[in-house]
Amino acid sequence: MSLQVRSQVSLKPFNTFGIDVNANWFVEVHDDAEVREALAYACDRQLPVLLLGGGSNLLLTGDVSALVVRMASRGIRVLHDDDEQVIVESEAGEPWHPFVQWSLEQGLAGLENLSLIPGTVGAAPMQNIGAYGVEIKDVFAGLTALDRQSGELRDFTLEECAFGYRDSVFKQTLDRWVILRVRFKLDRKARLHLDYGPVRQRLAEQGIDHPAPLDVSRAICSIRREKLPDPAELGNAGSFFKNPVISAALAAQIKLGHPGLVAYPQADGRVKLAAGWLIEQAGWKGYREGDAGVHRLQSLVLVNYGAATGTQLHRLARMIQADIAQRFAVTLEMEPNLY
């Protein structure tokens, strides 16, 4: 076989938490044929498979007794351009933020609010990544995935992906699909989303009255750099907990004791709470035990100060979950996948 399968490979460079564990077997794949070859290799040896993109949504709690398949495919192409809307297709292994920057350089709008999110294009639909009022589903035009059960390729529509808040059919069936390519519908004429968070304020501070998509991207990058630590400098996976969605009655009950509750009414009558606010109110912001901690500026981010293990970070996460449940009767759900 042409694949270079290696044994006992450290995964520290391949996960943004910087957890130093080994993969028993490791391979990088660059096209559809190599994906199939890697899966066949694992099947022949009865090995489980762990698909890896940018490692930005993963908490590794020990050595990985599986074939780690790192998606390293590259390529961006324009499939349709009618001078108003453009359909762009990207290979799964393309790093996400450079792909966003490429789209802006082409004069295409739609992805600017999703700037500076770590990870790869192929991993983006997995949890329907979102930021500042925009989610993948808002710009999604389809994707191609390999069915690991049948070996066939399948194109998914928006409806078939079953996108939800940080969720999708792919996240619910992790062992079935390999996302190979993702398509996006982008616009020549920008329809900017500026009303979520401090985006308008940051643009005003920069003296920008009539922003272009690139201005929005730069503003969001500056906000994110202030709020979130750079994984290259401090190991983390971004937001560690989902914002919980609870009943309006429970939200009203919490607000009686906490008038400053940060809450967003939802279309179905429920209320989304800011998980970071809950964690900060409970006193966890800046907490540290050994090298596992909660970021001093953003309580939604767990960090590895150097030598924390995945088990230590997971234990800290469970402590926070238990405390929030006891204080507010709210269940916090982890965003990263645990392995």
* Each residue's pLDDT tens digit, 225-262: 988 899 989 999 999 999 999 999 999 999 999 999 99
Write down the pTM of the prediction.
0.90
pLDDT of residue 70: 97
User: Sheet of 245-246: strands edge to edge?
Assistant: 245-246, 271-273, 263-265
Question: Does the annotation count 115 as an active-site position?
Answer: no
Contact criterion met (CB below 8 Å) for 268 and 274: no
Helix H or strand E segment including 44: helix 32-44
Of 28, 94, 112, 335, which is the active-site residue? Answer: 335
Over range 123-127, report the average pLDDT: 95
Residue type, 291: D
* 32: Cβ contacts below 8 Å, ≥ 6 apart: 146, 153, 180
For residue 133, give the nearest of 114, 108, 109, 107 by alpha carbon.
Answer: 114
Token pair 């393309």 in the structure block, residue: 94
Ordered by where they begin, the domains of the chain are: 6-71 (3.30.43.10), 76-227 (3.30.465.10), 235-338 (3.90.78.10)
Side-chain-side CA neighbours of 34 within 13 Å: the count stands at 16
Paired strand residues for 68: 26, 50
* Each residue's pLDDT tens digit, 287-322: 999 999 999 999 999 999 999 999 999 999 999 999
Tell me the C-alpha distance between 126 and 57, whole Å.
Answer: 10
Considering only 11-15, 59-63, 194-198, 202-206, which range has the smallest mean pLDDT? Answer: 194-198
pLDDT of residue 1: 58
Tell me the C-alpha distance between 4 and 21, whole Å.
Answer: 20
* Each residue's pLDDT tens digit, 318-334: 999 999 999 999 999 99
Question: Token pair of 132, please?
Answer: 């500042």
Of 166, 181, 202, 218, which is the active-site residue? Answer: 166
Of 90, 168, 239, 299, which is the active-site residue? Answer: 239
Question: Does the annotation count 84 as an active-site position?
Answer: no
DSSP helix/strand/coil, 270: coil
Considering only 66-75, 150-159, 188-197, which range has the smallest mean pLDDT? Answer: 188-197
Contact criterion met (CB below 8 Å) for 14 and 235: no
Token pair 């269940």 in the structure block, residue: 331
For residue 235, give the nearest of 293, 312, 311 by alpha carbon.
Answer: 293
Question: Token pair of 96, please?
Answer: 């996400």
Tell me the C-alpha distance between 308 and 305, whole Å.
Answer: 7
Question: Does the annotation count 226 as an active-site position?
Answer: no
